[in-house]
Amino acid sequence: MTHDLLIVGAGIHGAACAQAAVASGYSVIVLEQYEQAGMVTSSKSSKLIHGGLRYLESGQFKLVKQCLDERRYLLRNAPWLVKLVPFYIPVYKHTRRRPWLIHLGLVIYSLLSRKGFSRLDRSHWSQLDGLKTEGLEAVFKYYDGQTNDTLLTRAVMKSAQQLGAELITHATFRSAQCHQQGCTVQFEHEQQLITLDARVIINTSGPWVNHVLKRIQPETPALDIELVLGTHIIVPIKLEQGIYYLETEDGRAVFIMPWGDNSLVGTTETAYGGDPKNISPPDADIDYLLRAYNQYFGRALGRGDVIKAFAGCRVLPADQQSAFHRARDTIIYHDNSSNPRVFTLYGGKLTAHRHTAEQVIKIIRPCLPSRRPVADTRKLKLPA
């Protein structure tokens, strides 16, 4: 049997591509090296379903609108998993982004999201979870989405499986030999080397994308990428009011949010040159996040207060610009001259996974037989 698509990697984008493909009527098989979907990068995000307010600063209006549309779909299709929560932006005398700029950004954001914002009266500042008020000039409140990224990835994958996709876990991609009509793929599963045929390969292997490309013949030139480490810490603070969006010592932004009975603080953006399988949060990143928390809240925390620290790898195109200021658009890479049957995803946002997958299917459709769609992913309810 020849499958229409073989997808390498069952992170959020691999799961979403599988869902979009089977919804379009295609036969799909997904290879995942770990025991379940969403165990690496897709389980180590900031847990947010949002448009990216800060992307307005760099003029990425299309990306923000796209993500806010996707937020709306997820709120409707997975209300058990994606919820709107209040976000607070405090502005101090030392804050680089002045109140007028925050206000302008929120006006644009509210127009794109169809959800309003407000400026809190001073009488409410004392209720903000011990937020320091010395030098505080304004506090803005707006709404965005929060999720459990691991459960979201598995729900999307389960949705794809319910429509007919096949997921093979503990599967190691070994090689592929491609030609004009498709590819012959070899992978290892339960100590056996298995061969199958697929018309198209979609490479959604996250930090391993170029490693996978090297195993496909004819050889496809890979894009230059940089792996960027995002560290988060969990601390024993219970927030009652919502999520705080704070400016750090170097002008970046971090979120401090409720996470169960504790709080999650993140994230960092540190260049990483090691093996994605052996990631551990750098001490410097943990200290950076603790300083960010201590700068804004009255109860000081130290290293002994960190319950857990974790880090994941983002994939960004190689660039001289700092990671914080780079565009976050997903690159759907395809070299038609060398390998017309292989498509690779570089980067991508958790929030935009469905839209990204939809675009992938549009691009690969000319390589596949005509099929009858069976579902619309914009309206497809995710299984609990």
Give 234's DSSP letter.
E
Nearest Cα to Cα of residue 369 among 204, 182, 216: 182
The pLDDT > 70 percentage for the chain reads 97
Output the CATH code of domain 225-317: 3.30.9.10
pLDDT score recorded for residue 94: 92
Is residue 376 scored above 80 in pLDDT?
yes
Lowest mean pLDDT among 110-114, 262-266, 336-340, 363-367: 336-340
Predicted confidence at residue 204, as pLDDT, reads: 97
- Summarised one tens digit per residue, pLDDT across range 9-33 is 999 999 999 999 999 999 999 999 9
Q: Quick one: pLDDT band at residue 320, thresholds 50, 70, 90?
A: low
pLDDT at 322: 52
How many C-alpha atoms does 333 have within 13 Å on its Cβ side? 21
Q: What is the pLDDT of residues 84-118, one digit of tens each?
A: 999 999 999 999 999 999 999 999 999 999 999 99
Which of 19, 28, 30, 27 has its CA nearest to residue 371?
Answer: 27
Indicate the CATH number of 2-42+150-224+328-367 among 1.10.3720.10, 1.10.40.30, 3.50.50.60, 3.40.50.150.
3.50.50.60
pLDDT value for 323: 47
CA angle 358, 84, 293 (to 5 degrees): 110
Q: What is the pLDDT of residues 129-183, one digit of tens each?
A: 999 999 999 999 999 999 999 999 999 999 999 999 999 999 999 999 999 899 9
What is the predicted pLDDT for the residue at 338?
85
Q: How far apart, in whole angstroms, are the C-alpha atoms of residue 218 and residue 210? A: 14
**Band (327; pLDDT cuts 50, 70, 90):** low
CB count within 10 Å of CB 295 equals: 15
Cα distances (angstroms) measured from residue 114 to each of 108, 147, 171, 264, 309: 10, 20, 43, 27, 35
Distance separating alpha carbons of residues 79 and 90, to the nearest angstrom: 28
Check residues 244 and 323 and name the one with the higher pLDDT: 244
* Cross-strand bridge partners of residue 77: none
Q: Tell me if 140 sits within 8 A of 88, measured CB to CB.
A: yes
Residue 325 predicted with pLDDT over 50: no
> How much is the average pLDDT of 206-225?
94
pLDDT tens figures, 35-67: 999 999 999 999 999 999 989 988 899 999 999
Q: What is the DSSP string of 166-199?
A: EEE-SEEEEEEEEETTEEEEEEEETTEEEEEEEE
Q: Where does the pLDDT of residue 319 fall: very low under 50, low under 70, confident under 90, or very high at 90 and above? A: low
Yes or no: say if 32 and 14 are a contact pair by the CB < 8 Å rule.
yes
Residues contacting 191, CB < 8 A, separation 6+:
none
Report the pLDDT value the prediction gives residue 160, as an integer from 0 to 100: 98
Q: Is the pLDDT of residue 232 over 90?
A: yes
| Domain limits, the chain | 2-42+150-224+328-367, 54-146, 225-317
Angle at 274 between CA 271 and CA 278, to 5 degrees: 115
User: What count of residues does the chain have?
Assistant: 384
Q: Rounded to an integer, what distance in angstroms lies between the CA atom of residue 43 and that of residue 37?
A: 9
Residue spans of alpha helices (H) in 130-282: 149-162, 209-213
For 236-272, give one letter per residue: b (16+ CB within 10 A) or e: ebebeebbbbbbbeeebbbbbbbbeebbbbbbbbbeb
Residue 339: the pLDDT is: 87
pLDDT above 80 (res 329): no
**pLDDT tier, 317 (very low <50, low <70, confident <90, very high otherwise):** confident
Question: What's the mean per-residue pLDDT of the chain?
Answer: 94
